[in-house]
Amino acid sequence: MTQADVRVLVTIGMLVAYGLIMPTLGFFATSALFLLLHMLYLGIRGPVWLASPIILLLGTAWALFERFLGVPLPHGLIY
Amino acid sequence: MKNALLATCVAAAIAAPGAGAFAQKYKDVEVPTTVNVIVAYSAGGGTDILVRTALPYFESAIEELTGKDINMVVKNMPGAGGEVGWTALARAPKDGSTIGVINLPAVALVQAVREPEYAPWTESFTPIGVNVIDPSVVRINDAKFGTLKEAIEAAKAEPASVTVGADGPLSDDHLAVYAIEDATGAKFTFIPYAGGAPANRAFLSKEVEMSMGNVTDLLQTQEATVEAAILSNERYELIPDTPTFKELTGMDVTAGGSTRGWATVSGIPDDLLAVYREAFEIASNDPKYQEEAKNRKLTLVTPKIGDEFGQIMADTQSSVDSLLKYFEQGGYLK
Amino acid sequence: MTEILLDSAWLAFEPVNLLLVFVGAVLGTLFGATPGISATLTIALMVPVTFGMTPVHGLSFLGGAYCGAIYGGSISSILINVPGTPAAVATMMDGYELTKKGRAGFALGGAITASFFGGQIGTIVLLVAAPLVAAAALNIRSAEFFWIVVFAMSTVGAIGGGSVTKGLISAFIGLILGTVGTHPFTGSLRFTFGVQGLYEGFPVIVGIVGLFSISQVLYLCHGKGMDKQIDIPTVGSLWPGWVEIMKVKATYIRSAIIGTFVGVLPGAGADIASFIGRNEAHRFSRNPDEYGKGSYEAVVGSEAANNAVVGGSLVPMLTLGIPGNAVSAALIGGLLIHGMLPGPRLFTDQAHIIYPFILSLFAANLFFALAAFGGLKYLAKVVLIPQGVLASAVAILSVLGAYSYRNMIDDLWIMLFLGIVGYVLRRTGFPLAPIILGIILGPLAETNLERVMTIANARGMTLMGYFMSNTLTIVLMVMSIAALIYSVVREIRHQRSGKALMPLETD
């Protein structure tokens, strides 16, 4: 098994963990956690790269779904 | 909302001393700050529109009765023919923080074909009230028959030779077709379509000779309709020229139509249930609401509150029970 | 008539309405570009937002979102090899090939111009010929529709990658997945294994997110150099140039007509239109060998078709109350909240609302095109971000799309399962597009055939006898069978001659 295959398997594992945790922790917290950990795992180190998907992606999702459309994404312990 | 509330209270107190007494009566009821309203169908659909139209009026009526601020939020939980949403409603905490809309007879039909977690639904859900019932309407086009009676006679003389298209299977329309079969002894070939609109397409294009639907379906296919009858005891105000089935054929056939009522999980505090029921009655009698609802083609009826809706629920279940054998014979319960 | 149109133009093109159309088109484009958020979901989510608007404003806003969402699907197809909507699956094959060659801009420009052109043609037909076309659409009943589905199935050869066998196996997998769920005729459950999320059949949207997006995430994770961008040199200019456009003008026109026609058919939507549009472009192409390797013509072929569906699908919806596809079915909600019942009388009773709405669609097509030309200069740079960032972000976008489809956690598991299946299939050289075609077309073929058999039975006819009793059915039957045979023969001939039409991805 190559290193690349391991990366694929770990990614699958992290997505499974995501599905298990999300109902309790809520969409936004779990997604932020996943993005951060997954990017770190893949070797991304630049703070701008680490922060921008979390802020831009989740920020847009929050604004559009929670505010504009009024269809709340699952909330959990934190939000 | 506090100021508006105060103003309403004052106005109400001046106009009718009784109204002020309500606020007194429910002042001590513990009301959840957020009430989730489960809709077992997707956003933008018929049930969703009904809920979103009523919600502001329902919300302010509760605030008026209890003197507390609340926030009602629609939760669309479509899936598995409504089972997903109703299961969530049945599983909800019994503190009144979750209410929902149950669709009759769909909720009973899902229970008839499989074992949903919410069974028996008449016990799992406690009625708040209902004000939207869309009666069943049967129509024929000019493909083969001149009158509805003729079509029924043909289906009696030669069973399964007459095709009836409708939303289905296992819909309120499907149930209504069996109600006609049961009362008249006719035997139709039921052709299911994935929704009312495709069924109307089949009716317009004369793929089928007959169609079962609701009031709006008739309004949309009036040009192609040779004869139509409403399966209820009296005519309906949106389609005053359409006779009842009995008036037209002499045979007494009624069906529950499509009923969308508000309910909670059973076991919520009695005083809160009383608030919901009374608030629902106030909201559905609000002329402003009624105008808005009528504009959106919601088929309003005189609101049936609490046990009155409970009676409709029981009637629906017994009519499903009595027609169950037709579903069995048709191969629908496997 | 002229008077109505002039009055309507005032309402359609007044500043507030134009602003709403613009906002709708931009939001629609964004939603459409998000994997898993289809045009249908976009409209369903936005209908409640229009509650407080006037009917013209609300409908124009939704119309803008509809046009934008159908177009938007192509953006992610082209840039990140992930279809934003089912209608963009056919665009992906050549769009992403162009991106890999550093010509993303060229592909995007093709999609914008084609979507714009197709959208306007569909709207023109809606405006001038609605009642006429609607009457013709009524001749398409279950029997005719069954054969049209068979015709659409014949496109499988052209999207199957290099190997006919593998393409057919993929299509077969799709057909199997298509049988999952409530039996459309008896209501009994098939192959659902107790998973509630499967009761209403394999959710196509979730399937697409899994098969394409999640498998793409895994694919990206398998690459080297996570902190570096994928090996894509540049994006290139967005404007394809008149020369390129005129070279394939026949494809723009042909696909726009195909899309409009497919849109009118009740039950067939932008997804089917884009497959047929691309396939017919291929059939008539002077450079068929380029298909699958980054053909501009192929991008135009699918994109002009799927946006032409918008106008087409509104024809039966507005005139007969019968939506041409799932998106226009969701749009009925937008009419109902303003008390408008779609049907024959809409054009007379509510002309002052319907005509401004139709006219606003012209503006919608213009706005998403302008916004795309303006905004994609920047957005297209996503192809240049590090692979690792892209992989994580696409994973979360996929979750968002799959989950918001109907707020069910089951869908996350279905998505992940199909993501793994899709990844394995890609690594072993099986094409994914035929699976989607199978999931979409299988249930349509089954339901319509079963319906026809039941009706034939009730009339005391055999199935063949029923098919032969109508001239239009016979014509469509002959056409579909011929197309099916033609596509198989063509593929086999190309295989024999040693040059596969569509080389497999070899990376």
For chain B, give the mean pLDDT. Answer: 90
CATH number at residue B48: 3.40.190.150
Closest CA–CA distance from residue B7 to any residue of chain C (Å): 24
Identity of residue C427: R
pLDDT at B195: 86
Which amino acid, residue C152?
Answer: A
| Enclosing domain of residue C283 | 2-496
Nearest Cα of chain B lies from the Cα of C72 at a distance, in angstroms, of 21
Among B255, B278, B302, residue at a domain's last position: B255
**Beta carbons of B255 and B178 less than 8 angstroms apart:** no
| B332 part of a folded domain | no
Give the integer Cα–Cα distance in Å for C21 and C28: 10
Q: What is the pLDDT of residues B46-99, one digit of tens each?
A: 899 999 999 999 999 999 999 999 999 998 888 888 999 999 999 999 999 999
CA A28 from chain center: how many Å?
Answer: 7
Decide if pLDDT at B232 tops 70. Answer: yes
The torsion region of residue B264 among left (phi > 0), alpha (psi -120 to 50) and beta comes to: beta
Contact B147, B195 (CB under 8 A): no
| B143 and B285 assigned to the same domain | no
* pLDDT score of C61 more than 60: yes
CB contact under 8 A, A72 and B43: no
DSSP B261: E
Distance (Å) from the alpha carbon of B54 to chain A's nearest alpha carbon: 16
pLDDT of residue C492: 75
One-letter-per-residue 3-state SS of C91-118: HHHHHHHHHHCCCHHHHHHHHHHHHHHH
DSSP state of A55: I
Q: B53-57 long-range contacts, Cβ below 8 Å, gap at least 24? A: B53/B289, B53/B292, B53/B293, B53/B296, B53/B298, B53/C337, B54/B131, B54/B283, B54/B284, B54/B289, B54/B293, B57/B283, B57/B284, B57/B286, B57/B288, B57/B289
* Same domain (yes/no): B248, B141: yes
Query: Which residues of chain B make contact with A71, given a CB cutoff of 8 A?
Result: 43, 76
Pair (B218, B309) in one structural domain: no
* pLDDT at res. B9: 44
Q: How many CB atoms lie within 10 A of CB C52?
A: 9
Query: Is the ipTM here above 0.90?
Result: yes
Q: Is residue B333 included in any domain, yes or no?
A: no
B226 is a domain residue? yes
What's the total number of domains in chain C? Answer: 1
Say whether residue B60 is in contact with chain A using an 8 A CB cutoff: no
User: Residue B192: its pLDDT value, please?
Assistant: 94
Of C339, C464, C335, nearest in space to C61 by CA = C335
Sign, Cα dihedral of C96, C99, C103, C106: positive
C360 found inside a domain: yes
Q: Does C399 touch chain A (CB under 8 A)?
A: yes
Shared domain check, B170 and B27: no
Q: Which DSSP letter does residue C498 get? A: T
Output the pLDDT for position C231. Answer: 66
B211: β partners: B139, B165
* Statement to judge: residues B99 and B76 lie in one domain: yes
Helix (H) / strand (E) containing B129: strand B125-134
- C317 CA to chain B: closest CA distance, Å? 9
Asked if C45's CB is within 8 angstroms of B44's CB, the reply is yes
Give me the amino acid identity at B321. Answer: D
DSSP string, C156-213: HHHHS-S-HHHHHHHHHHHHHHHT-EE-TTT--EES-TT-GGGTT---HHHHHIIIII
Cis peptide bond prior to C83, omega within 30° of 0: no
The Cα–Cα gap between B174 and B188 comes to: 11
Return the CATH number at B204. Answer: 3.40.190.10
Look at residue B1 and tell me whether its pLDDT is greater than 50. Answer: no
Identify whether residues B235 and B178 lie together within a single domain. yes
Give the per-residue pLDDT at A56: 92
Q: Select, from the ranges B40-44, C133-137, C164-168, C308-312, the one with the highest average predicted confidence (pLDDT).
A: C308-312
Residue C503 lies in a domain: no
* Token pair 């049907």 in the structure block, residue: C343
The verdict on residue B165 lying in a domain is: yes
B287 in a domain, yes or no? yes
B97 touches chain C (CB under 8 A): no
Interface contact flag, A72 B76, Cβ < 8 Å: no
- pLDDT above 90: residue C325: no
B25 touches chain C (CB under 8 A): no
Subunits that touch chain C (at least 3 Cβ pairs < 8 angstroms)? A, B
What is the per-residue pLDDT for C217? 94
Domain count, chain B: 2
Residue B117 and residue B23 share a domain: yes
Say yes or no for a CB contact (<8 Å) between A5 and C222.
Answer: yes
Q: Is B154 on the interface with C (CB under 8 A)?
A: no
- Better-scored residue on pLDDT, C493 or A13: A13
pLDDT at C255 over 70: yes
Residue from the list A19, A61, A65 with its beta carbon closest to the beta carbon of C412: A19
Q: Which residue of B has its CA nearest to C403?
A: B77
Chain A contacts in chain B segment 67-106 (CB below 8 A):
73-76
Please tell me the predicted confidence (pLDDT) of residue B23: 54
Q: How far is CA C185 from CA B165, B170, B331, C447, in A?
A: 12, 10, 10, 7
Work out the minimum CA distance from A67 to partner chain C, whole angstroms: 11
What is the tens place of the pLDDT at every residue in C142-174?
999 999 998 888 877 666 556 777 888 898 999
Query: Do A71 and B43 count as a contact with CB atoms less than 8 A apart?
Result: yes
Query: Residue C299 contacts by C-beta under 8 Å, 6 or more apart in sequence?
Result: C74, C78, C91, C94, C95, C98, C107, C110, C111, C114
Q: Residue C48: CA atoms inside 13 Å, Cβ hemisphere, count?
A: 27
C498 has a pLDDT exceeding 70: no
Q: Which residues on A lie below 8 Å from B75 (Cβ)?
A: 72
Which chains are within 8 Å of B by 3+ CB pairs? A, C
Residues B282 and B235 in one domain: no
Q: Which residue has the tokens 């049930």?
A: B47
First to last CA, chain A: 39
Spatial distance between the Cα atoms of B196 and B211, rounded to a whole number of angstroms: 10
More confident call, C404 vs C310: C310
Is A67 part of the contact surface with chain B (CB cutoff 8 Å)? no
SS (H, E, C) C302-351: HHHHHHHHHHHHHHHHHHHCCCCCHHHHHHHHHHHCCCCCCCCCHHHHCH
pLDDT digits (tens, 9 = 90+) for C371-388: 999 999 888 888 788 889
**Interstrand relation of B189-193 and B163-167 (parallel, antiparallel or unpaired):** parallel
Do B228 and B297 sit in the same domain of this protein?
Answer: no
Strand partners, B193: B167
**Among the three residues B236, B255, B274, which one is the final residue of a domain in this structure?**
B255
Please state at what angle helix C104-137 crosses helix C296-320, rounded to 10 degrees.
30
Asked if the structure places residue B15 within a domain, the reply is: yes
In the prediction, which pLDDT does C459 show?
A: 93
Q: How many CB pairs under 8 A join B and C?
A: 146
Same domain, B238 and B195: yes
C82-134 confidence digits (pLDDT tens)? 999 999 999 998 999 999 888 999 999 999 999 999 999 999 999 998 888 88
Interface residue A71 vs chain B (CB under 8 A)? yes
- Angle CA C166–C171–C177, to nearest 5: 130
Query: Which residues of chain C are within 8 Å of residue A65 when distances are taken between CB atoms?
Result: 404
Q: State which residues form the domain around B163.
A: 136-255
Of the residues B210, B230, B255, which one is the last residue of a structural domain? B255
Q: What is the pLDDT of residue B25?
A: 73
Nearest C-alpha of chain C: how many angstroms from B326? 13
Backbone phi and psi for residue C14, each to the nearest 5 degrees, phi listed first: -75, 155
Q: With respect to residue C71, please indicate whether it lies within any of the assigned structural domains.
A: yes
Contact (CB, 8 A) for C308 and C273: yes
Q: What pLDDT, on the 0 to 100 scale, is given for residue C497?
A: 63
